[in-house]
Amino acid sequence: MRSASFTPVRSACRVQLARQGRQGGAVAIVVAIAMIAMIGIVGLALDLGKLYVARAELQNAADACALAAVHSLNGATTRQLEIAEAAGLTTGLRNKVQFQNNTVNLRQNASIEFAESAESAEEEWLSKNELNSGDDRILRMRRARCTINETGIETWFIQVLNVLPGVAIGSQQVAASAVASLLSAQTTCAMPLAICTEQLAVNSQIGQWIKGGDSPSADGSSNFRWVDLNLDSKNSSTRDIADMLSGNGACELPVKGTQVGSAGVRAGLSNEWNTRFGIYQGGAYSAESNPPDFSGYAYTTKTWPAGPDGNRSNAFEDFISKRSSYAPYQGDSLAGLVTGSGPGIQAAHVNYGRLRRVLPAPVINCSELDKGTKKTLIQDWACLFMLHPISRGAGGGNDGYLYLEYRGKASALGSPCASTGLPGDIAGNGPLVPTLSR
């Protein structure tokens, strides 16, 4: 009787335990799915953050690449696309991605493209190798686009979702692109040399040679002047001007409303001026610290013929080809100058050459500068081509005069002058500077 009375209880317990076992299994499945979902959500946040950081790193590289490339698109040489691509690649490759662990992926003839028009739906982007060497569009290119892709980015946690049916998450990729153009500046890097409005009022033809002074002198007193660009500096001196000539000029100079002062006669600046032609004397300068232009070839009254009107002009067109071949200074005997230098060294232009002989210069009222205050405001910006080194002492070529070639307004579309500084508005009158447009 006793055993019969306990049988129903044992049966009920077995049923209850079976039910609890089935419920526990179901809870375990639910918990496992929930954990996978939670890990997936957390992983998604972390992995998206990783991709966002990679995208930001790529964008920095693309911006730097485009800005460096467009700076060389100034029409100064038929090799400008080659130079621009090299500058863009060199600058872009200094950046890293994936938390600064990997070098960005930039490739020749693929990552950097060029366009000649302002931003429009019809603009055509071309890589360097899509243009033949004789294509006249090369010199008209004014925009650079740099595109960078980063593939094979491994995720940390989100791949746990691959256990779910139909989910297959692998390595990821991100991309970045930047477009840069040349626009007028609100600040610039200027040389301490100004051209007189009086000269441009008489003749403002692009390509004309401008003779400095009414008598042989290196200071250029008449048609252009040495000027003091650092009026706020208490230590402004010939040394300041020398540093500007051998360096990058006076940078971050406001384009509008800038006041300059008279710098007097600066005949002792030949060493600094001549570094841009690859001539280094006295041991104070070198090609590595004071780079020359891509060419040091000199244009003088001996090396460049006069036109039918007896005047010389438009040597810049020949200079473009000389830059392409890294032509050095011919030497005093061939150039007809007295610099104390023989033929230049081509390797210096190949290894260290930069755009150093085409420069933006302020346009001023020289008669105003000659008044009692010895100060005047910059009225505009011109683009000037440095034709030749400065001779030392008597007996130099050009009858002792210093010549520059006028290449038009520095703000004009197609101007060979490109500077550095803060970009201004599209209608500005400052020299052209590299500017990100998108």
Residues 157, 215 share a domain: no
Predicted local confidence at residue 85, as pLDDT: 93
Residues 278, 135 share a domain: no
Residues 253, 374 share a domain: yes
Residue 2 in any domain: the answer is no
Residues 359, 210 share a domain: yes
Separation CA 246–CA 227 (nearest Å): 16
- Is the Cβ–Cβ distance between 391 and 411 less than 8 Å? no
Residues 157, 75 share a domain: yes
Residues 369, 278 share a domain: yes
Instruction: Among 137, 159, 184, identify where a domain stops.
Output: 184
Predicted local confidence at residue 169, as pLDDT: 74
Residues 197, 140 share a domain: no
Domain that holds residue 381: 187-428
CA-based nearest residue to 392, from 338, 330, 344, 341: 338
Predicted local confidence at residue 127, as pLDDT: 93
Predicted local confidence at residue 261, as pLDDT: 84
**Tokens 């746990």, located at residue:** 160
Predicted local confidence at residue 384, as pLDDT: 93
Predicted local confidence at residue 217, as pLDDT: 45
> If phi over 0 gives left and psi between -120 and 50 gives alpha, with beta otherwise, what is residue 315?
alpha
Predicted local confidence at residue 191, as pLDDT: 81
Residues 242, 387 share a domain: yes
pLDDT per residue rounded down to tens, the chain (438 residues): 444 454 555 555 555 545 555 555 666 776 666 665 666 566 667 777 788 888 999 999 999 999 989 988 877 777 889 889 988 998 999 898 887 888 889 999 999 999 987 666 577 899 999 998 888 889 888 899 999 998 888 776 666 666 667 767 778 889 999 999 888 877 777 788 889 988 888 778 999 999 875 444 444 446 888 888 876 655 556 677 888 888 888 777 777 778 888 876 555 788 899 999 999 987 789 999 999 999 999 999 999 999 998 899 999 989 988 988 899 999 999 999 988 899 999 999 999 988 899 988 899 998 888 887 888 999 888 999 999 998 876 555 677 788 999 999 988 877 888 777 777 766 666 778 888 887
Residues 202, 67 share a domain: no
Q: In what order do the strands lie in the sheet with 143-153?
A: 126-127, 112-115, 143-153, 172-184, 432-436
Residue 266 in any domain: the answer is yes
Predicted local confidence at residue 133, as pLDDT: 82
Amino acid letter, 160: V
What total number of domains does the chain contain? Answer: 2
Residues 192, 283 share a domain: yes
